[in-house]
Amino acid sequence: MTDTSDDRIRFQVELEFVQCLGNPNYLNFLAQRGYFKDQAFINYLKYLLYWKEPQYAHCLKYPMCLYFLDQLQYEHFRKELANAQCTKFIDDQQVLLWQHYTRRRTKLLQEQAEACANRMAQTNGQVNPSQT
């Protein structure tokens, strides 16, 4: 394998792993198996903070993983993840956030579409140069 190929594979593996950190149930799995007690693993989590840099962060499909990556830098958070109730609470809060975001985004898009339709009706479909 070439260095470029190795770098590409490493990038993909690290990208997938960082995104897995956005899943509270996976974090619970890691905590219950003692990964968060391994100093080498903790160091790896610290190393992965480079994903917060814009040139890497734009590749993430699930940006919530960066929040959890930040929180994993704290021992107290890592210990709490072993508690299934804590993980369930985090998971529930994440779902509520997504639901709120989706509803809010839908509402904003509807308002924008209605405003655009009203402008079009007022100008009889004519483009007003002052609004472009």
Task: Give tens-digit pLDDT for 13-64.
Answer: 999 999 999 999 999 999 999 999 999 999 999 999 999 999 999 999 988 8
Q: Please provide the DSSP assignment of the chain as one string.
A: --HHHHHHHHHHHHHHHHHHTT-HHHHHHHHHTTGGG-HHHHHHHHHGGGGGSHHHHTT-S-THHHHHHHHTTSHHHHHHTTSHHHHHHHHHHHHHHHHHHHHHHHHHHHHHHHHHHHHHHHTTT---GGG-
Predicted pLDDT of residue 105: 72
Q: What is the CATH number of the domain that holds 115?
A: 1.10.10.1340
Structural domain contains residue 58? yes
| Residue 132 within any structural domain of the chain | no
Would you tell me the crossing angle of helices 3-20 and 64-71 to the nearest 10 degrees?
Answer: 80
- Give the pLDDT confidence score for residue 103 in this predicted structure: 74
The answer on pLDDT for 128 being more than 70 is no
Structure tokens at 88: 């369930």
Whether the full predicted model's pTM is greater than 0.85, yes or no, is no
d(CA 93, CA 99): 10
Residue 78 lies in a domain: yes
**103 inside domain:** yes
Residue 53 lies in a domain: yes
* Mean pLDDT confidence for 108-126: 78
> How many domains, the chain?
1
In a domain, residue 129? The reply is no
- What six digits make up the tokens of 22? 């956005």
